[in-house]
Amino acid sequence: MQGVTVVDHPLVQHKLTIMRDKNTSTASFRRLLREISLLLCYEVTRELEMTTRTIETPLETMEAPILEGKKLVFASVLRAGNGLLEGMLELVPAARVAHIGLYRDHETLQAVEYFFKAPSDLENRLVIVVDPMLATANSAVAAVTKLKERGATNLRFVCLLAAPEGIEHFTSEHPDVPVFTAAIDKCLNEKGYIVPGLGDAGDRMYGTK
């Protein structure tokens, strides 16, 4: 699918399988999500722009590569996005962070916003939106729409699992935003859950129900 990258690295796929298993504990689920986020972060930042800086090694002076431009922003869609955010911040500790509080209304499956806080100068930064699940994509579409309203022009979306319906919806609303996912599952069920999926990501991360 155009604009969609499936991160099919063996470590990602192995960890994802353990996360899908309903017998996996909350503690393991959280740890695995953090570990996978490191690998997804590696992929989504692969084409960041570089420049060089003059440094002195113990042996000689060299022009060494460093990241160019303003610090990037990770935008976490609460709650479950925080599970991906944590690992990403380990790899890019200087990144700025936006929090977007959204929950899915269980009847309508529409995204309901309850919180938004982001750096003020989004127009100058790459914004990487993180949320483990792209189901109907109502949440992802709402999150990206809001970020664009606040000035973001250069965005990417990272998730763990996507439904084909969600990818279709998201890419039709935001064709300019590349999607990175560890897997594209079969379909959505009648309640809007990804099948086979892993259940409710937020509940599995935090032990709620």
Binding-site annotation, residues for 5-phospho-alpha-D-ribose 1-diphosphate? 79, 104, 131-139, 200
Please give the residues from 104 up to 133 whose contact with ligand URA meets the rule CB under 6 A. Answer: 133
How long is the chain?
209
Report how far residue 115's alpha carbon sits from residue 103's, in angstroms, rounded to the nearest whole number.
10
Report how far residue 191's alpha carbon sits from residue 163's, in angstroms, rounded to the nearest whole number.
13
Q: Which stretch, 4-12, 78-86, 146-154, 174-182, contacts ligand PRP (CB under 6 A)?
A: 78-86
The option from ligand PRP, ligand URA, none interacting with 197 (CB < 5 to 8 A, set by class) reads ligand URA
For 49-57, which contacts have Cβ atoms below 8 Å and span 24 or more sequence positions? none
200 part of the interface to ligand URA, by CB under 6 A: yes
Amino acid at 50: M
Cβ closest to ligand URA, residue 25 vs residue 208 = 208
Catalytic residue at 203? yes
Looking at 133, 147, 158, 167, which residue binds ligand PRP (CB under 6 A)? 133
Looking at 103, 151, 154, 199, which residue binds ligand PRP (CB under 6 A)? 103
Written as six digits, the tokens of 131 are 């949320």
What is the DSSP code (8-state) at residue 175? T
DSSP H helices in 45-187? 81-91, 138-149, 164-173
Active-site pick, 108, 145, 153, 208? 108
